[in-house]
Amino acid sequence: MHPSFRRAVLAGAAIAASVAGGDALAADAVRLYAAGSLKAALTELARDFQSAKGVPVEATYGPSGLLKERLEKGEAGDVFASANMEHPAALAGVGRSGPVRPFARNQLCALTQPDAGVTPATLLERMLDPQVRVGTSTPKADPAGDYAWELFRKADAVRPGSLKALDGKALRLTGGPESAKPPEGRNPYAWVMEQRQADLFLTYCTNARLAKAEVPALTIVAVPADLAVGAEYGLTVLKAADTARGEAFAAYILSPAGQAVLERHGFARP
């Protein structure tokens, strides 16, 4: 176990013990701001938390970078769960929140059209093909976009010139303030691919799995080791008037029960 994760779990266990049964928690709901890729897992986890502690969770999901900006501008929240460590660290750095704790990991996968002819071995070649439309999320606004550009930089080490080519052709289709929104209840990546806005979309493997469940014809392609990019997720408790409910929910995410929920949804432990 990573030392920082071990410390986070131990700290979380102490907090959880202090609020066992929910008696010490305020009756107000936990105000959660969380990365969109966490929606399925944290919705389940929040239900479990409410059953265990009697405290509901009001969640706002979206691109982590955009959520960070909202919190920086003063929106009230209790817990921020980001798809990277940098955005919560930025809030902690200006005194808006407490320490940042790693709580999950993810990986990039390629979600492709069934006729795209992509395999792990041909992924880079197909991405560089001028006829293949490569979709990504929006860098800075959404960590998934930043991770895609990290993959492009790795590609440049494998085949010089790849970064320039991919930076020039990548379609930033999701995660930005002006990105088209899918219909209510639709998975954004399933919707983008069903609309054939891209031939290949770089997204988290957990997102790809949800998209394929919605549109079974789509294909999930693993990223080969020389291009592989991992995503470390971090959470921080915001400095509200009463931080007990935020600390309790953070502790639950870090607990064995919370980690089991995340693992069922395809996330790995830090």
pLDDT 10s digits, 87-130: 999 999 999 999 999 999 999 999 999 999 999 999 999 999 99
For residue 23, pLDDT over 80 is answered with no
For residue 7, pLDDT over 70 is answered with no
Question: What is residue 3's predicted lDDT score, i.e. its pLDDT?
Answer: 52
CA–CA distances in Å: residue 56 to residues 46, 153, 262? 7, 42, 19
Residue type, 152: F
- Portion of the chain with pLDDT greater than 70, in percent: 90
Q: Are 164 and 130 in contact (CB under 8 A)?
A: no
Q: How many CB atoms lie within 10 A of CB 159?
A: 12
Question: What is residue 62's predicted lDDT score, i.e. its pLDDT?
Answer: 95
What would the mean pLDDT of 119-147 be, rounded to a whole number?
Answer: 97
Tens-place pLDDT, residues 39-97: 999 999 999 999 999 999 999 999 999 999 999 999 999 999 999 999 999 999 999 99
**Fold for domain 3-105+232-264?**
D-Maltodextrin-Binding Protein; domain 2 (3.40.190)
The CATH architecture that domain 106-222 belongs to is 3-Layer(aba) Sandwich (3.40)
Question: What is residue 28's predicted lDDT score, i.e. its pLDDT?
Answer: 85
Q: How confident is the model at residue 1 (pLDDT cuts 50, 70, 90)?
A: low
Tens-place pLDDT, residues 179-233: 999 998 899 999 999 999 999 999 999 999 999 999 999 999 999 999 999 999 9
For residue 25, pLDDT over 80 is answered with no
Residue type, 89: A
The alpha carbon dihedral of 257, 229, 43, 186 has a sign of negative
Where in the chain do CATH 3.40.190.10 domains reside? Answer: 3-105+232-264, 106-222
Question: What is residue 243's predicted lDDT score, i.e. its pLDDT?
Answer: 84
83-103 in b/e burial notation, b at 16+ Cβ within 10 A?
bbbbbbbbbbeeebbbebbbb
Q: How far apart are CA 139 and CA 227, in angstroms?
A: 18
Question: What is residue 11's predicted lDDT score, i.e. its pLDDT?
Answer: 46
